[in-house]
Amino acid sequence: MKSMTQNNKIVTGNLFVEILKYLAPLILSMLIQQSYQTIDAIIIGQGVGANALGAIDATYGFIKLLINSVIILYTAASVVVAKHYGAGDIISVKNSIKVMLVLAVVTGIFITLSPLLLIKTICNVMSVPKEMLGEAMLYTEIILGGSIFMILFNCGGSILKSLGDSRLPATALAFSCMINIVLDAFLVFCLNLGVEGVAFATVIANIVSASIVLAKLWKTYIDLEKREGTRKNDSNVLIRSIREIMIFGVPAAGQSILFSFSNIFLQSNINKCGAKAVSAWAVCGKLDFLIWIIADGLSITGATFIAQNIGAKEGKRAKRAERYVLKIFVATIVLISTILYFTTPLLALVFIKDKAVINVAGMLMKQIAPFYVTCIGAELYSGIFRGYGKALQPVIFTLVGTIGGRTLWIFICSSIERTDIKNIILAYPFSWILTTALFIFYRLLDRKIGKMRQSYRLI
């Protein structure tokens, strides 16, 4: 076990260099994954029209609620794999992998089947404009119907990343992305299938990426079997693995559900502002994707590096990893926000030709861009806290800061101009600032209490 730990660069190598080496393919992987949606948006916006583009985005909050809540469960649970791998505990690593894959299949089947009967009700609840309703329903049905493959890819990819392999998921996505691009163009421009073709292309691409990742994961599992030798599994270890995955995964899934509900709540209010406002906000969502990719990538990186070093009893190294990811986050988000602030009207031309929609998108981005850096709490600290073994606090802070903050803001807007999108979208930065303040306050309080306990021990 000791030799395995010594060969693990996450706990022994140059920390900053290893973070960059781990983060680069992870960001690439997420960029490729996001490119599915971006390519869909470009083809739909240019080939079909602004209403079709808005239709894809109108129910995105609901799709994200279902799929991301499960994906986040496995992303958070992979911290357990990282911790045991850092400690050299192969049996626990294997058991955690088995539990996560079984849960992925079960939840994938449930999400694929259960919501399909409720699509029309969901669109009505979210106040999807009538001119977008048919296309929004069709797109949502197809995407959810193939969601099990997206879930299996993300579960397998999360496990591989927790073991230090962030390159294979990026490779799998690169290959599936090429398939997605070809199918998008063929189904929309050649067969005139519109949003239906875009949805089918995405599902087929997810099947390809899931197959590649699961094949690699099987090979990795066989290698772990060889390292372990002939020792038998202990049922107590399996039970512990299930308990640990639930402790980390369920609160994270709950946090994702709460976060998605707040987005659905805001999107339903945005949908009431009319088709042009919905399309303009959809364009902003396509342009700021790099913000969320970097935030998610750094969150996973922080959780993996902190968990593995905590497992290897390297507490000081874990704290250094935390400082590095925070500095990288601030530097990159400020740069991207500045670019978006000044160039959104120009970049929007990639997606649509409607000048009125482009002008609204530019106005909205000027409002929101200066505040992106304040999302550090909800997006980054959640992963950092999980790396340290704190699973419940992110849920509480999300409930109070994100859900509470956005609900309060909409309540305030209702007394001014509820249907004014300029007022509604400011709920995002308001909730980011509130959530980040809660995380920072707890972090400072936790450190102060820790120092007090240490001084009492010295006495």
pLDDT given at position 362: 93
Query: Helix (H, G, I), strand (E, B), or coil: what is residue 199?
Result: helix
pLDDT given at position 85: 81
Token pair of 429, please?
């930065």
pLDDT given at position 359: 92
pLDDT given at position 116: 64
The C-alpha angle with vertex 295 and arms to 292 and 301, in degrees rounded to 5, equals 140
Q: Within the chain, what is the greatest distance between any pair of CA atoms?
A: 78
Q: In which region does residue 390 sit, left (phi positive, over 0), alpha (psi from -120 to 50) or beta (all else)? A: beta
Q: Please state the φ and ψ torsions of residue 174, each to the nearest 5 degrees.
A: -60, -45
132 DSSP 8-state letter: H
Q: What's the burial of 300, exposed, middle or buried (CB within 10 Å: 0-12/13-18/19+)? A: buried
Please give the single-letter amino acid code of residue 148: I
> Which residues of the chain fall below pLDDT 70?
1-7, 33, 35-40, 47, 49-50, 57-58, 60-61, 76, 114-118, 126, 227-238, 416-419, 450-459
What does the alpha-carbon distance between residue 58 and residue 333 come to, in Å, rounded to a whole number? 26
Q: In which region does residue 164 sit, left (phi positive, over 0), alpha (psi from -120 to 50) or beta (all else)? A: left
Please state the domain extents for the chain: 2-458
pLDDT given at position 3: 47
**Closest C-alpha to 322, from 157, 440, 172, 419:** 440
pLDDT given at position 1: 46
Residues in the chain: 459
What's the whole-model pTM score? 0.74
The C-alpha angle with vertex 83 and arms to 79 and 84, in degrees rounded to 5, equals 120
pLDDT given at position 369: 94
Tell me the chain's radius of gyration from C-alpha atoms: 22
The C-alpha angle with vertex 194 and arms to 193 and 195, in degrees rounded to 5, equals 115
**Closest C-alpha to 438, from 389, 382, 391, 387:** 382
What does the alpha-carbon distance between residue 158 and residue 80 come to, in Å, rounded to a whole number? 11
Query: How is 42-67 classified by DSSP, letter by letter?
Result: HHHHHHT-HHHHHHHHHTHHHHHHHH
pLDDT given at position 373: 93
